[in-house]
Amino acid sequence: MNDKLKLETLLMHYGEEPSDFHGAVVPPIYQNSLFTFKDWDALDEAFDNRKDTYIYTRGKNPTVSVFEKKIAKVAGGEKAQLFPSGMAAISAAILHCINSGDHIITINNIYGPANNLLQSYLKPKFGIEITYISGTDLDEFEKAIKPNTSLIYLESPSSAIFSLQDIEGVAALANEKGIKTIIDNTWATPLFQSPLKMGIDLEVHSCSKYIGGHSDVVAGVVIGNDVDIDEIFLNEYEWLGAKTAPFEAWLLIRSLRTLPLRMKQHQESGIAIANYLEMHDKVVHVNYPGLESFPQFELGRKQMKGTTGLISFRLQTDDLEKIKIFFNGLKIFRKGVSWGGHESLIYAPAISYLKELTEKQFVGMCISLADMRISVGLENADDLIADLEEAFKLI
């Protein structure tokens, strides 16, 4: 297929050949554990090329491959490996880049479970050292580098406060020093940010968010060059056994087809709601890379092609009772974790962070009790604003 075609067209057709599937307009779900071969020699040959041959579904599966080809193409990578969750993708990518005793540099506001992997697992079990920085200044990265630094792990925009890192700058620094780089690109999606084209080695996504988009799949993906992804497939994917269900891949192929349309709408409604919140007298401030008041708005404009529907804001009150009244007063916004689906959601980081962190750590992460995170879904934005307005009237 002509790969000069535009993204929307590639997402529709790239990586699937209807003639391979009897002309079926949607690729089938290959729900089989193994593949059979004509004879001894055919099997023998298959083992010589395990990374590109369908032998057993813990390894390659044709439905999974269709998704991987599409997402790799859109992200500007050579190959992708799909995983059964974003965390499985993150742990595989990190394990690929480190040896015991190595040092990792990451940011203060890294996604909580990824931090648990580093702090509660890799550090005590494998002697991994970790340095946390704000990530907003390139010098911080340079100063944090040690002789045993093997990985810089980025998340831009980051969880909770959506702070950005200068992706091109960090990639150049890391490449010069022979340090591997991973970025969690879940917030921006491969449509709005292309870190591999900026020199990052591995891009990871939770496909449970915008990529899936329908709140019916948990999955994750690692995208990079042929060498890294083949190694991740042969080692972390097959050995750790984190096999992706063909049905999940099939749902994700469906999701990719509408990703550009959905992101356009999430962006449009996200901007409308962020503007509404910013003008509201019961809101102290709004964290959203799409607002001009965002401290790193210019960097965002330089390295991202769009903004999304994930917004956080701080209520003016710090009275927990009132905060709960506001939260519970929303009718269209549903209450729950995760984000990026068709439905609008609200979540307060305090609900989980207060259980895991001391108050001091909590403040150190720039999070307060009054912080709300909303995921603007695909409902009509005027209805969503009216819903917020009713809840504000209660406090």
Ligand X SMILES: *Cc1c(COP(=O)(O)O)cnc(C)c1O
Range in contact with ligand X (rule: CB under 6 A) among 121-129, 130-138, 203-211, 232-240:
203-211
Both tokens assigned to 194: 């292309």
Write the DSSP symbol of residue 34: B
d(CA 55, CA 172): 39
Q: Does 156 bind ligand X (CB under 6 A)?
A: no
Helix, coil or strand: residue 251: helix
203 binds ligand X (CB under 6 A): no
Residue 76 gets the label, from left (phi > 0), alpha (psi -120 to 50) or beta, of left
CB of 161 to ligand X, least distance (A): 12
Residue 124 token pair: 């005590």
Nearest distance in Å: CB 380, ligand X: 25
Pick 71 or 391: Cβ nearer ligand X: 71
The burial class, CB within 10 Å (0-12 / 13-18 / 19+), for 36 is exposed
d(C-alpha 223, C-alpha 202), whole Å: 6
- Residue whose CB is less far from ligand X, 353 or 392: 353
Nearer to ligand X, 130 or 218 (CB): 218
Q: Of 46-54, 139-147, 172-180, 202-210, which segment contacts ligand X by CB under 6 A?
A: 202-210
**Cross-sheet strand order for the sheet of 180-184:** 79-83, 220-224, 202-206, 180-184, 149-155, 103-107, 129-133
159 counts as binding ligand X under rule CB under 6 A = yes
Helices (H), 31-152: 40-48, 62-75, 86-97, 112-116, 123-126, 138-144
Question: Of the candidates 86, 135, 224, 309, which one interacts with ligand X according to CB under 6 A?
Answer: 86
In which element (H, E) is residue 285 found? strand 283-287
Nearer to ligand X, 184 or 371 (CB): 184
Q: Total residues at the site for ligand X (CB under 6 A)?
A: 12
162 makes contact with ligand X (CB under 6 A) = no
Please select the residue that binds ligand X; options are 163, 208, 267, 344, rule is CB under 6 A: 208
Question: For residues 372 and 313, is the Cβ–Cβ distance under 8 A?
Answer: yes
Q: Mark 327-366 with x for binding to ligand X (rule: CB under 6 A) and - for no binding.
A: ----------------------------------------
Residue 87 interacts with ligand X (CB under 6 A): yes or no = yes
Note whether 186 binds ligand X by CB under 6 A: yes
Among residues 172, 218, 284, 385, which is the contact residue for ligand X, using CB under 6 A? 218
Binding of ligand X at residue 62 (CB under 6 A)? no
Give me the residues paired with residue 106 across strands. 132
* Phi-psi domain of 310 (left: phi exceeds 0; alpha: psi -120 through 50; beta: other): beta
| Residue in 61, 85, 189, 307 binding ligand X, rule: CB under 6 A | 85
**Using rule CB under 6 A, residue 144 touches ligand X:** no
Contact between 206 and ligand X (CB under 6 A)? Answer: yes
Classified as helix, coil or strand, 327 is: helix
Q: Which residue has the tokens 């150190």?
A: 364
Q: Between 238 and 277, how does the x/- string for binding to ligand X read (CB under 6 A)?
A: ----------------------------------------
- Please choose, out of 81-89, 193-201, 228-236, 313-321, the segment that lies near ligand X by the rule CB under 6 A: 81-89
Three-class SS of residue 393? helix
Query: Helices 381-393 & 246-279, crossing angle to 10 degrees?
Result: 60
Binding site for ligand X (CB under 6 A): 85-87, 111, 159, 184, 186, 206, 208-209, 218, 220
